[in-house]
Structure 1
Amino acid sequence: MASMLSRALVNYPNRFDPAALGELPERLQSTVKRRNNVLGPGYALNYREPVEFVSGRGAHLFDPDGNDYLDAYNNVPCVGHAHPHVVEAVSRQMAAVNTNTRYVQESLVDYAERLLATMPEALSKVSFACSGSEANDLAMRVARFHTGGEGIIVTRWAYHGLTREVASFSPTLGAGSPLGPNVRVIDAPDPRLVPPGSSLPDYMRSQVRGAINDLERHGYRLAALITDCAHSSDGIFTDPVGYLRDMVEEVHAAGGVYIADEVQSGFARLGESMWGFSRHGVLPDIVTMGKPMGNGMPMSGVVFRPEVCDEFGQNVRYFNTFAGSSIAVAAGAAVLDVFEAENVQQRVLDNGRALRAGLEEITRESPYVAQVRGSGLYVGVELVKDRESLEPDRVRADHVINDMRERRILISGTGEAVNVLKIRPPLAFDSADVTRFLETFAEIAEMRL
Structure 2
Amino acid sequence: MKVSGFPVLGAVLLASTAFAHAETLTIATVNNSDMIIMQKLSPAFEQATGHKLNWVVLEENVLRQRVTTDIATEGGQFDIITIGAYETPIWGAAEWLTPVDDLGDAYDYDDILEPVKNGLSYEGKLFAVPFYAESSFTFYRKDLFEAKGLTMPEQPTYDDILAAAKAIHDPASNTYGICLRGKPGWGENMAYVSTLVNTFGGKWFDMEWNTTINTPEWKQALTLYLDLLNNYGPPGAASNGHNENRALFASGNCGIWIDATSAAGYIFNPNESKVADTTAFAKAPIAAVDKGAGWAWAWALGIPASSQKADAAKQFLAWATSKEYVEMVGESEGWVSVPPGTRKSTYANPKYTEAAPFADTVLAAILAADPADATKDEVPYTGVQFVAIPEFQGIGTQVGQTVAAALTGQMSVDQALQTMQSATERTMKQAGYPK
What is the TM-score of this pair, normalised by structure 1? Answer: 0.27
Structure ranking higher in helix proportion:
2
Q: Whose RCO is larger (CA < 8 A, sep 6+)?
A: 2
